[in-house]
Each structure stands twice: as C-alpha cells, then as structure tokens.
Chains A and B, each alone.
Chain A
C-alpha cells in the first residue's frame, strides 16, 4: 500500500499549470462570486451597470492569473467589435470577406503564435534533422494564455455569424466585451454563441426561484464531480501514467479507464459550475455535456461530449469545408479534417492530432456503415463499441508523448496483464466508491429525462437544501486537493 507516487514526482508540465488561477473550487472564488452576486443584484434595475460590473469582475477574474494577458482579450474584443460593425456595413460579398479575413487572420494568428508556434517550429526542426539538415532551435519561451482557445473560438463565431447574416453586429461595446470575457465561461467554456449570449446581455436579467434552484443544484453537482470524483481518480491516473513503463497491462487499463471518467467528471464538473454560476447571474448558457458515455455510436458521443465545441466545429469548420454536400469522398475528408483540427485545438502535440484522427476515422467508418446498411444507430452492443473507441483515443490524449502512448496501447492490447498496482489503498478505494456514486447519480438523472440544467427546480426548498447539504458533507469527507481543471491547459 505504498508509494509509487513518491517514486517520480515529476508530473507532466502539460497537466499542471504553474500559475495561480481563480479556480471555481477555490476559497477565493467562494468569496469572489458571492461579492459579485450581491453587488450585481443590488443593481438589478440598471442592467447596463450590471454589465459594467460583470466586465470589471471578469477582468479581475482573468487578471488573477496574469494581468498582462488581459491585453490579448481586450485586443481581440476591440478588433472584433469594430470588424463586426465593418462586416455588417460593408457592401458586397468581397468587402465583407475582407473584413472577415482581418478577424480570422488576427485571431488565429494570435492563437497560432501563443499555442502552436513552438509545436510547428520543433516539428519542422525534427523533420529537417531526419533528412540530415540540422536546424537551430527555433522555439521561443512562450506562455500559453489561459482560455485563449475558448475565447478565440467564441469571437470567431461572432464575426462569421455576422458575415453569414445570422446575427447583427452589436453597437454596445460593453455588451460585446462582456460577451467575450464573461467570467463563468471565460477560461474553459462553454463556448457560447453571440446569438445566445449577447441578447441576454443587452436586456434586463431576472433572478427567479427556478434559476436559483437549478443554478445551486448544478454548481454543487459540478463541485462533487470535480473535487470528489475527478480529483480522486486523478491521484491513481497520475501515479500510473508518470511511470507507465513500469506497469503491466492491467494497471494501465485501469488507469486509462479511470482517466476516461476523470476527464469527463473534471470537465463536465467545470461546465456545471460555469452554467450554474451563470444561472445565478440570470444567464442561460448552452448545455456542454449530456452523459456522453451513454452513447451507442461515436456520432452520438460527439453530440453529448463538449457539445459547444463539437457544434462549433460542425458549424464553422465542417460546414465551411463543404460538409456532406460535395460527394461521399469529400464528406469523409471533411470529417477527418475537422476531427484532426479539433484534436489540434486541444493542444500543440501530435498526441492530440492522433486522438482527433482516431475519432475522425471511426466517425467516417460509422457514416459508411450507416449508409451501407441503411441504419441510424447500433444496438446495445454499440455502448461497448463506443466506449472502447473513446478509451483507446484517451490513451493518446493523456500520455505524455507519442512513445508513451504507443507503449501503453501495446501493453494493453497485448494482454500483458498481471498483478494490479493499487498504490495508496485508501485513495484507490475512495476513487472506486466515488466513481460508483457518480455513475449512479448520472444514471438517475439520465433515466429521468430531465436535463441536469433543469433538475434542481423539481425539489422544494427544504428537500433541495437537504440534498445540497448531504453533498457538502460528502465533499468535506472526500474532496481531494488536486487543484487545476484539466481543460485549463487548452
């Protein structure tokens, strides 16, 4: 019952942000949010002042991590505010296109420099060295701004939607800046569309009993998912993946299984707290997770997993590439390309590209199978098939590098099974018990056909308070001290 985690303390840099972020599960947020909440509702008859308050508090929220990078969000906000207005008033498709290109090049340029420059520079140097040409180290010492992938996609959708004529550009600068930086969704989504959020910002918000109940319930469920389930699973996952070469197939399989649930509960927990917090401020965000592991096909999985991203990729990438309008071969190409880029969106590493590639490949196979046999979904066996494909892809997502991913994959599929490494028996048993509880809660909500977003309102105040109190006590007994949300690295 001891110590392999003491063996190698060097966690992957990839999975541990070294900066202090105002986390949803921190004491700071527990002070920050109520203060904002109280002042916000004291201003309830003056929604423009509420917006100003939200903007300032969102910048404080982001600046808590590193105030210097506020300049990037402010730059993007200014740029797309003016570009949006220019696209709207521009005459003719070409002129509109020019302004859209300004937005695309600037935003993707910033994302490219901060997120992908080093990746492509080192990949270029490596590929040159394989043909015998030694290139000097071209990489730069660049910090990845937290949330840049999320707010870049959000602002791009705004410009593209105006270009497509789906929305009008807003003239309210504060509303637009607030849309881009609203703190509950700033650093890890949900990736909100302007068509949903800006109209809410530009009108008076109301706080009613339903919003409070739903918001509080979703926040507490999110906290439970994150700090009780995901963080406890993470203890085992981190210790095994840090020493993957020492472990046998059974240990690596269990660690990967744990990881599948860790990342789900971590990210869906984050989204729950974000959506719940937004509800308490009178906003309705889009749903981001809908029990993805209860999917019979990979296509269904992507309608349930990180919904705001997968719909963004569908609407702004897959459809822009031609979607399924240019023949069967192009459809598969577009699908694969969308998933590869979707993979790369997660991080500048070949692991993420392969992760996206696996999903793209199986989505294409599914599409082919469905059209060939004229079916719309698989039978119950599909649950297992979907989970296995997702599990294989997670290996590449979690492994520190490609060599590690292939080693882990080969150990698992070669059935190199042996005695299971348990590590700290206490934390292992905690992880299993909490995971079981999490799955039971998910099953109950899934079977009820009521979305988690609307679940709290069905309870009366007393019953909801008791339920929330029970979860608070469970959190007290089982919270783990791992700090960061996995998706902050993206």
Chain B
C-alpha cells in the first residue's frame, strides 16, 4: 500500500508539471485556453464581461468597446466570476459588466461549486488559489494529487495544443450562436414548452452562498474606484414570474450596485430568430441586444 502511495505521488507530480508546461502555452478552448487568454489580457482591456454561457453568447463586447474581452464561460455562476474578478488589478480604469441570472440567486441548491472550474490554476495563481481554498469546494485529494487540477480538461488541453480551436489573437471572447435546420426544429419545440404561465413560488429566498459571493464582488467594486461595475441580466424568451426579479433588484440596490435587468426585453416580441432555446439567443438576438446595450451605455453619461 505504501509503495502505491509513493509511486502514485511521484507519478502525479510528473503528470502535473508536464501539464503545467503544456497548458501554459494553450490560449484557445474552454478547457484552459480562454482562462489563460483572460489572465494575459485582464489588466490591459478597457471593457470586460463576466458571466455564464448567456454572457458569453449574448454580449458582443466589440460593439461596446474596441478594447474589450468577454469572459463568459459555460456552466459557471457567481462564485467563479467572483474569483476571477478578484484577480483584477486596480491599476487600470475599466468597465466591468457582470452578467447574472435571477434564478441562480434563488436556487436553494446552489453551492458555489462552479468555482472548481478554476482548479487548473490551483497553486498556480495566488488570487485564484486563495478563492478556491476559501470556497471549501476542493477535493480533499487535491492537496496530495495535484493532477486533479486538470480533471476533465486533459483531452481538451491536448487537443488545443495540437490544433488550436481558433486564432486567439483575433479572439475577444464572444461566441455567437448560429443554428442549422435541425436545430431550428429543436428550438421551436423548446420554445413551445415555454409558453406556459407558471405560478410564482411562495417564498423567494436569496441563496446564502450566492449572496456571499455577490457581497465579495460588491466589496471589491467599492474599494476599486478605478473600475465601474454594472450588473446585467440579459433577456429570456419567457419569464412568467417577476417577484424574484424585483427582490434581486432590491438587493442590488441595498448593496449599492448598478443593476440593469433586461429579462423581459423581448417578452412581447417573441421573435423566434432571436433564440436558440429559451435561455440562449442566436447571433441575431445577440447583435440586437448588444446594440441595445450600446445605446444604454451611451445614454448614461457617466460611461
């Protein structure tokens, strides 16, 4: 048994350091490339978007600012974004847009585990390591077996070493969605489901974990006057209840955060060409929304 522990420990360190060497050069793909790209650009761009796949696919940052980066990632939440925002230096004036989703704040099952998507930088980036350790989300084995840092991302990293997904020099983080004929059929089926009028829940309670991370971002925003933080919720195809939206808006107000809620922006339009499914807009929708956002930014004199 002791022999297994020793050999696996040594093997783990070989794998870990090999992947460190390899992955540092990867600048494409969601496995680690986009994160590396972000870390290399974060303190030089003027405009930045954080958020989940909706942020990634809904906000064409170049419409809003030519020196910008969209750091939206699939499947992440406020914990992940809070950790990334914590890496920003207060040396550069920036507009930071944080895309949030109302439902995530009232999801009683949300535990902040999305922060583990940053585990590739555990013990490799001081700010991210601190956030990961404070989250309590790391596997207990991670302190012993460091190759866990690359869990789930190994093939993605190797693939991007051999064949990068795109030219990262021209990439600015925005990934619009285009849909083909079969996806159009799928989209129509999904949107049909969304026409129901669901009742609101009786008790909307802010998730404590989500609130903790929101407060962390708020504290960061207040101590970095160089940066302007705006929280945004992009449109949904159908949202039958607005109690949660009102509660979240009130919370943002109490934290002295600027919050623009566009959940129902296209509620009455029902333009199907805008949508890939009920939560994600197509390139058409994203372009319309980015242009709309641009007008809102320009209309607000402080920006």
Residues in chain A within 8 A of chain B (CB atoms): 1-4, 6-7, 27, 216, 245-248, 418-419, 424-427, 429-430, 433, 461-462, 465-466, 468-470, 472-473, 476-480
Contact = CB atoms under 8 A, between A and B. Distances in A.
A31 B46 CA distance: 50
A478 B154 contact: yes
A425 B155 CA distance: 10
B15 interface: yes
A7 B53 CA distance: 12
Contacts of A418: 182
Contacts of B159: 429
Contact of B141 (A4, A461, A476, A480): A476
Given A419-B182, A476-B12, A3 B53 contact: yes
Contacts of B4: 216, 465, 468-469, 472
Would you list the 5 A-B pairs with minimal beta carbon distance, nearest first? A469-B8, A469-B7, A465-B3, A476-B147, A426-B156
Given A2-B74, A6-B75, A429-B159, A477 B15 contact: yes
A438 B147 CA distance: 21
A247 B30 CA distance: 25
Contact of B182 (A248, A427, A472, A479): A248
Contact of A429 (B53, B155, B177): B155
Contacts of A246: 186, 189-190
B60 interface: no
Nearest to B109: A9
A424 B152 CA distance: 11
B245 interface: no
A479 B279 CA distance: 29
Given A429-B159, A480-B152, A473 B8 contact: yes
B148 A476 contact: yes
Contacts of B12: 472-473, 476
A216 B280 CA distance: 47
A476 B151 contact: yes
A478 B149 CA distance: 11
Given A2-B53, A469-B8, A473-B8, A426 B30 contact: yes
Nearest to A430: B155
A378 to B, nearest CB: 37
Contacts of A216: 1, 4
Nearest to B156: A426
Nearest to A426: B156
B299 interface: no
Contacts of A469: 4, 7-8, 11
Contacts of B15: 473, 476-477
B180 to A, nearest CB: 7
Nearest to A480: B152
A462 B3 contact: yes
Interface of B: 1, 3-4, 7-8, 11-12, 15, 30-31, 53, 57, 74-75, 140-141, 145, 147-148, 150-156, 159, 177, 180, 182-183, 186, 189-190, 277-280
B164 to A, nearest CB: 14
Nearest to A427: B152
A418 B190 CA distance: 18
Contacts of B186: 246-247
8 contacts: A6-B279, A27-B140, A246-B189, A419-B180, A425-B156, A426-B31, A472-B145, A477-B148
B74 A3 contact: yes
B182 A426 contact: no
B137 to A, nearest CB: 11
Contacts of B182: 248, 418-419
Given A1-B30, A469-B7, 7 more contacts: A6-B279, A427-B152, A472-B11, A476-B148, A476-B151, A477-B148, A480-B152
Contacts of B140: 27
A466 B217 CA distance: 46
A465 B186 CA distance: 50
The winner among B140, B150, B182 for most chain A CB atoms within 10 A is: B182
B180 A468 contact: no
Given A429-B159, A433-B155, A476-B12, A461 B3 contact: yes
A476 B189 contact: no
Nearest to B148: A476
A322 B87 CA distance: 73
A477 B277 contact: no
Contact of A2 (B155, B177, B180, B189): B177
A468 B190 contact: no
The winner among A4, A248, A418, A476 for most chain B CB atoms within 10 A is: A476
A466 B31 CA distance: 28
A465 B7 contact: yes
A461 B3 CA distance: 9
A424 B153 CA distance: 12
Given A418-B182, A462-B3, A473-B147, A478 B280 contact: no
A34 to B, nearest CB: 9
A426 B153 contact: yes
A7 B278 CA distance: 8
B147 A477 contact: yes
B11 A470 contact: yes
Contacts of B155: 426, 429-430, 433
A487 to B, nearest CB: 25
Contacts of A27: 140-141
A246 B278 CA distance: 13
Nearest to A461: B3
A477 B151 contact: yes
Nearest to B157: A426
B147 A3 contact: no
A33 to B, nearest CB: 12
Contact of A7 (B11, B30, B277): B277
Contacts of B11: 469-470, 472-473
A248 B140 CA distance: 41
B95 to A, nearest CB: 26
A479 B4 CA distance: 19
Nearest to B1: A216
Given A2-B177, A429-B159, A461-B3, A478 B8 contact: no
A306 to B, nearest CB: 30
A478 B280 CA distance: 29
Contacts of B1: 216
Contacts of B31: 426
A460 to B, nearest CB: 11
The winner among B1, B30, B147, B152 for most chain A CB atoms within 10 A is: B152
A427 to B, nearest CB: 7
Nearest to A429: B155
A7 B3 CA distance: 46
Contact of B190 (A7, A465, A472): A7
Contacts of B153: 426
Given A469-B11, A472-B145, A477 B150 contact: yes
Contacts of B278: 7
A478 B151 contact: yes
Contacts of A424: 74
Nearest to B153: A426
